[in-house]
Amino acid sequence: MLKILIADDHALIRKGLKQILDDSPDMRVTGEAETGMQAIQMAQENEYDMVLLDISLPDKNGIDVLKQIKANCPNTPVLMLSMHAEDQYAVRSMKAGASGYLNKQSAPAQLLTAIRKVGDGKKYISSEMAEQLAEGLSQGYHELAHQTLSNREYQTLCLMAQGKKLSEMAEIMSLSPKTISVYRLRLLEKMKLKTNAEAIHYAISNHLIE
């Protein structure tokens, strides 16, 4: 029986996931977290066989939560859930220590397959994503501009595209405005962009925000 912690700030989504999982004979939801900090604390204080982690949490970026959970509980696999398309976050999540990545719009059967695979100690990505990666390798893989960014730089770019002010970004990321400015300058330099407006246009054109 897999004991699972769900971390998602939407009560309806948690309820839906819990219903799907509890209807399966081999898994049970034994914990629910609404925020990143709560997920980190619960994962550390209780024993779970897996964490289902939303990438968009209100207090902390999901990638940061993932890294913290893996630092505290290295043997607990984490399956990332997101509304974002796989090509935006899947590779980034896996590099940060996730055992799998699944879009929230996936069918319940696909969710159960992913959980069982990760529960067996394997990695999970969808067949569509696997095909995409294979195609990229066969054609000679070229990173997109945003894929060269660090997680903090990428988060800064997404918040800029959401219209957040410097002070709001600093509060969301728990960093000083000065540090955010450094990330902003770095991401513009790495992506060979000159202005905030160009960065925002790029993020929207590449569907980096919900």
pLDDT the model gives residue 115: 94
> Residue 49 is part of a domain; what is its CATH number?
3.40.50.2300
The full DSSP string for 64-112 is: HHHHHHHHH-TTS-EEEEESS-HHHHHHHHHHTT-SEEEETTS-HHHHH
Q: Are 34 and 106 members of one domain? A: yes
The pLDDT of residue 145 is above 70: yes
* Residue found under tokens 């055992």: 99
Domain match, 118 and 166 both: no
Based on the domain organization, do 34 and 73 belong to the same domain?
yes
pLDDT in tens, 151-176: 889 889 989 998 999 999 999 888 99
**Is residue 174 one of the residues assigned to a domain?**
yes
> Is 11 inside any structural domain?
yes
Q: Long-range CB contacts (< 8 A, 24+ apart) of 142-148?
A: 144/206, 145/190, 145/191, 145/192, 145/202, 146/191, 146/202, 146/203, 146/206, 146/208, 147/91, 147/92, 148/190, 148/191
Does one domain contain both 87 and 163?
no
Q: What is the CATH number of the domain that holds 156?
A: 1.10.10.10
Residue 96 banded pLDDT, cuts 50, 70, 90: confident
**71: containing domain:** 2-136
- Choosing from 136, 156, 181, the residue where a domain stops is 136
3-state secondary structure at position 166 = helix
Give the domain-ending residue among 76, 108, 136. Answer: 136
* E strand or H helix at 53: strand 50-54
Count of alpha carbons within 13 angstroms of residue 75, beta-carbon side:
3
pLDDT in tens, 11-35: 999 999 999 999 999 999 999 999 9
Kindly indicate the confidence band of residue 4, based on its pLDDT and cuts at 50, 70 and 90: very high
Q: Is 34 helix (H, G, I), strand (E, B) or coil?
A: coil
Residues 185 and 106 in one domain: no
> 29 with 129, same domain?
yes
Residue 103 dihedral angles phi and psi, to the nearest 5° = -75, 140
Domain boundary among the residues 76, 101, 136 is at 136
- Pairwise CA distance, residues 123 & 178, whole Å: 38
Task: Provide the whole-model pTM.
Answer: 0.69
